[in-house]
A and B are shown apart, each in its own frame.
Chain A
Amino acid sequence: MELRKSYFADQRKDDLHEIGQPRPRSDSPGHVTGKTAYFADRNFPGMLHLKMVRSPHHHARIRSIDTSEAEKHPGVVKVLTAKDVPHNVYTILILIQIGPEDETVLADGKVRWKGEAVVAVLAETERAAQEAAARVKVDYEVLPAVFDMEEALKPGAPIVNEYHGRNYYLYDSGECRKVRFGDVEAGFAGADHVLEQTYQSSPIEHAPTETTGCIVAPEGNDRFTCYTNTQAMFFTLDNASIILQMPGNKLHFVGGTVGGGFGGKVDVIVEPIAILGAKLTGRPVSFIYSREEEMQISSPRAAEKVVIKDGVMKDGRIVARKVTGYTDAGAYSRHSPYGAQKGAGHYPGPYTIPNVWIDTYCVYTNRTPSSAMRGFGVTIGDFALEVQMDKLARLIGMDPLEFRFINAYRDGDMKAHRQPTEGAALIECMQEASRTANWPVAEKFMAMSSYAKGA
């Protein structure tokens, strides 16, 4: 295999000798001796425990909230509702100008998913907080809910999120992200075979062994130190600053050690309310998800639905691909508009197809808000695309690996987004895979190259 050295040539000294050499992990000595400090390995005198009162309904109007019994419960120090949060309606991607703000820190007038935070209770012990949370009375008027993306997109469906006013994210390109390249209908008309298939996935929970949480300590100089297992330190700091209407220099975030994240700890959920609790009580606050909350409340990977229609020739060339992708954001945006957009960029796959048509929708339903997880927006798409590739190969009676060689993108090929391919290595990877997996392909494929046309 050729190792290309043209990339970053001016930055290379080619005196590298790390590859193939074992290096000890710098964090491992802490792990094996139990010395690694996770956020929860801290204890402060007078620390309060925060527990959430959560919505038992998928979609409901809140008629009234009565916290009087909870406030009287022994050990309770503070009970927080929406009116206590300085900037209660937020959205995390507002930092990169992706709005509108569409989610409440504590529910205000409405709940849009089962498990949504409504009231925060701070008490001397976890047990007191739990008991008091059970004494909060919330009067709900249950509303019709929608759980299916296609149902949600139909006219007359219950509106999940009034901040959007419609059950899909409105991109600057309209109701979906779009890619248009060539003439996909002409491609289908000229194809030997056309195959349309639908692929679906369910939400997937990251299930880290260490649950989501943070411990906040007031520092006495009007600053707050937040020990957290967030995977997005400054993102969380900046969003906390907006939600609390507090300058960032009042917030000191300490983290970096995460007991398993997998993308599940990039939302900004526990820190702002814990900092607010510490501010209003003047005491350290611990807010740590129970295992049940981690599984039921934290954002999962989005459920997705992918409809792929391909036109293929008997000689193996894919001549047209039409994809409609749906990402179930649940009740709030979080990272899902970005995930659905990534899908649009990804769906042609690493293949050169002359006619491509893609629509990807970010859909709101009354389900648990979904967000980031390991390649979100792409992983489920890849599953669908590669199963589709195998089906197409079978349809024309071709070896599935050879079928991919025929369609693999190569340097210079124009991609559907009108970016010329550069630095492709799919063919070389497949050649290596063919050898390693002992899955032989015809000699002409082993002689191909990603960057020498005609070879």
Chain B
Amino acid sequence: MAKVPVQFTLNGAEKAEFIDSGTTLLNALRDKIGDTSPKGGCHQGTCGACSVIIDGELRLSCLTLAETCNGAAITTTSGLSEGGVLHPLQRAFLDAFATQCGFCTSGMIMAAKVLLDHTPNPSRDEVVEALSGNICRCTGYEPIIQAVLTAARSNSQNAA
């Protein structure tokens, strides 16, 4: 099968791969590029574990064809910490006991990051709405919501 070239930036680094046409971004990231932070929980766009940020918008990488991402800027949870320092959301998830099995965590953090990028001081309802596409089967929603609210507060303190 003829391969298709794709080129994009992943967490600020240039990436180029030849893929089979029809390959999902999730499989391209995990199997080709080796970034396994997005997880495949359902491969049908219902669990949110594969969430990534494409050009500032939250996307389900299991429903996104890699070949549609040419020239895009893609962010995943593995690219959030800088120089070994955790991103405020990662710090808040850690401190708030907002992880259990951890499988949904990177998708949750992606959804939360897009929310805070657009709405730096969200209400609790806005946090709930922003995370509504992400399933935590361990049902640890309350600590996750609290972590996002805490991260928002620490962001606004840093800005002040």
* Docked complex Cα distance between A207 and B36 (Å): 21
The listed residue (B35, B40, B97, B104) touching A40 by CB distance below 8 A is B40
Contact B81 A33 (CB under 8 A): yes
Digit string of A15-40 for contact with B (CB within 8 Å is 1, else 0)?
00000000011011111111111101
Given A29-B94, A34-B36, A290-B43, are A260 and B101 also a contact pair (CB < 8 Å)? Answer: yes
B106 CB-CB contact with A under 8 Å: yes
A111 CB-CB contact with B under 8 Å: no
Measured CB to CB, the nearest residue on chain A to B41 is A209
* Docked complex Cα distance between A59 and B42 (Å): 29
Measured CB to CB, the nearest residue on chain A to B80 is A33
B15 CB-CB contact with A under 8 Å: no
Given A209-B39, A291-B42, are A27 and B102 also a contact pair (CB < 8 Å)? Answer: yes
Measured CB to CB, the nearest residue on chain B to A206 is B137
B61 CB-CB contact with A under 8 Å: no
Name the distance in Å between A269's Cβ and chain B's nearest Cβ: 19
Contact B137 A32 (CB under 8 A): no
Query: At the interface, is chain A mostly helix, strand, loop or mixed?
Result: loop
Contact B101 A209 (CB under 8 A): yes
A208 CB-CB contact with B under 8 Å: yes
A86 CB-CB contact with B under 8 Å: no
Contact A36 B42 (CB under 8 A): no
* A residues near B97, Cβ cutoff 8 Å: 25, 28
B4 CB-CB contact with A under 8 Å: no
* Docked complex Cα distance between A36 and B135 (Å): 18
* Docked complex Cα distance between A32 and B43 (Å): 22
Residue with the greatest number of chain A CB neighbours at <10 A, chosen from B42, B99, B102: B102
A312 CB-CB contact with B under 8 Å: no
B157 CB-CB contact with A under 8 Å: no
Interface size on B, residues (CB 8 A): 40
Name the distance in Å between A263's Cβ and chain B's nearest Cβ: 13
Measured CB to CB, the nearest residue on chain B to A261 is B101
The listed residue (B34, B77, B109, B135) touching A209 by CB distance below 8 A is B135
Measured CB to CB, the nearest residue on chain A to B107 is A209
* Docked complex Cα distance between A291 and B48 (Å): 13
- What total count of A-B pairs have CB within 8 Å? 97
Name the distance in Å between A35's Cβ and chain B's nearest Cβ: 7
Contact B80 A210 (CB under 8 A): no
Residue with the greatest number of chain B CB neighbours at <10 A, chosen from A31, A32, A210, A262: A32
Digit string of B11-52 for contact with A (CB within 8 Å is 1, else 0)?
000000000000000000011001111111111101101000
Residue with the greatest number of chain B CB neighbours at <10 A, chosen from A28, A38, A209, A210: A209
* B residues near A258, Cβ cutoff 8 Å: 101
Contact A260 B106 (CB under 8 A): no
* B residues near A230, Cβ cutoff 8 Å: none
* A residues near B102, Cβ cutoff 8 Å: 27-28, 30-31, 36, 257, 259
B154 CB-CB contact with A under 8 Å: no
Residues of B within 8 A of A (CB): 30-31, 34-44, 46-47, 49, 76-78, 80-81, 86, 89-91, 93-94, 97, 99, 101-106, 109, 135-138
Residues of A within 8 A of B (CB): 24-25, 27-38, 40-41, 43, 207-211, 257-262, 290-291
20 CB < 8 A contacts A-B: A28-B93, A28-B102, A31-B102, A31-B105, A32-B109, A34-B76, A36-B102, A43-B30, A208-B101, A208-B103, A209-B39, A209-B49, A209-B104, A209-B135, A209-B137, A210-B39, A211-B41, A261-B101, A291-B42, A291-B47
Given pairs A25-B97, A40-B36, A209-B137, 15 additional interface contacts (CB within 8 A): A29-B86, A30-B102, A31-B102, A31-B105, A32-B89, A32-B91, A32-B105, A33-B78, A33-B90, A34-B76, A34-B77, A38-B36, A43-B30, A209-B41, A291-B41
